[in-house]
Amino acid sequence: MYTNAERLHPPQLDYATFIGPVAIKDSGISPGGRGLFTTKAVSAGDLLFCEKAFAHAFVDESASERRGIKTTILIDPISDRVSLGTELELTNMIVQKLHRNPSLASSIIDLHHGSYEPASVVSVDGTPIIDTFLIRRMIALNSFGCPLSSRESHLFLGSAPDKSATTHPCLG
């Protein structure tokens, strides 16, 4: 996978889903809390699961600046949050993907969304309703940012970080 990731910028890996000896169960820690548990003994290094990201965003901010593209900012007065860059791009990608293919909604609606109560109406006049507030909440609770490759980060553990190296945030 790493070799394939090096060829494309940003990397777009398209691998199948793999589910090993794991199950999603009630964690018993908090109301509604779920967790991933192994169903048999495993060893260090065993692949437990692999899932292709529903959406992956990449914004090369330095390239945008060179081309004179302005940064888009979303201000949410309800949550008192400001979003920009990859987080905003990821929101747009997921909303557009669900709008083009509403049957995919069930694959992300079950994601943890905290105490947010989603809209109860799913369509109006045959047009799907996409609850963007729900999408934003799920992104906040279920996504992560990372550099284009964390391999170099691991290789240089113990040595002083290169301050000139550019980290490209991405969400998946």
Q: What is the pLDDT of residues 110-127, one digit of tens each?
A: 787 888 888 788 778 877
Q: What's the mean pLDDT in 13-42?
A: 83
User: Prior bond to 10 cis, omega within 30?
Assistant: yes
Tell how strand 22-26 and strand 123-124 pair up: unpaired
The pair of structure tokens assigned to 83 is 């979003």
- Given this model, what pLDDT does residue 157 score? 58
- Given this model, what pLDDT does residue 159 score? 54
pTM of the model: 0.62
- Given this model, what pLDDT does residue 70 score? 65
Query: Vertex 111, ends 10 and 71: CA angle to 5°?
Result: 40
Is the pLDDT score of 91 beyond 60? yes
> Which of 146, 147, 52, 135 lies closest to 93 in space, CA to CA?
135
Gap between the Cα atoms of 86 and 139, Å rounded: 11
The pair of structure tokens assigned to 134 is 């729900």
Model confidence pLDDT, tens digit, residues 126-152:
777 888 888 888 888 887 776 665 556
- Given this model, what pLDDT does residue 171 score? 39
Which segments of 3-131 are extended strands (E)? 18-19, 22-26, 34-38, 49-50, 57-58, 73-76, 81-84, 123-124, 127-128
Is the pLDDT score of 172 beyond 70? no
